[in-house]
C-alpha cells in the first residue's frame, strides 16, 4: 500500500492536505504525477506531493513554489 499526500499552502499560510492511496507503486506514481501536473501551474504559494509506503518510507516528493519563490 502507498499513500499519496498533496500539500497546499496559500500566501496567508493556510494549509490543506489531501490523501489518496494506491495498491501498487505504479498506481501511486500515476496519482503523484497527476497532482504535480496541477501543482506546476498552481496559484498557491506552495504546492507539494509526496508518496510514501504504509511503513512510512518516503518514495517520491516534489514541491513547487510560486509568487516570488519560484522554482522546484
**Residues in the chain, pLDDT under 50:** none
And the C-alpha cell for 25? 507503486
Q: Is residue 71 part of a domain?
A: no
Q: Is residue 72 part of a domain?
A: no
Q: Please state, in angstroms and rounded to a whole number, the distance separating the CA atoms of residues 59 and 57.
A: 6
Total residue length of the chain: 72
- Counting the structural domains of the chain, the total is 1
Write out the residue range of the structural domain in which residue 41 sits: 2-65
Q: Is residue 70 part of a domain?
A: no
**Comparing C-alpha atoms, which of 40, 65, 67, 54 is closest to residue 32?**
40
Give me the pLDDT at residue 29, please.
98
Give me the pLDDT at residue 70, please.
52
Q: Is residue 28 part of a domain?
A: yes
Q: Is residue 60 part of a domain?
A: yes
Q: Please state, in angstroms and rounded to a whole number, the distance separating the CA atoms of residues 21 and 3.
A: 5
**CA-CA distances (angstroms) from residue 40 to 19, 59, 63?**
19, 20, 9
Give me the pLDDT at residue 67, please.
82
Give me the pLDDT at residue 69, please.
55
Amino acid at each position: 500500500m502507498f499513500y499519496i499526500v498533496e500539500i497546499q499552502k496559500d500566501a496567508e499560510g493556510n494549509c490543506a492536505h489531501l490523501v489518496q492511496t494506491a495498491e501498487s507503486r505504479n498506481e501511486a506514481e500515476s496519482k503523484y504525477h497527476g497532482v504535480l501536473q496541477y501543482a506546476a501551474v498552481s496559484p498557491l504559494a506552495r504546492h507539494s506531493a509526496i508518496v510514501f509506503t504504509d511503513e512510512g518510507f518516503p518514495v517520491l516528493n516534489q514541491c513547487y513554489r510560486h509568487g516570488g519563490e519560484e522554482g522546484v
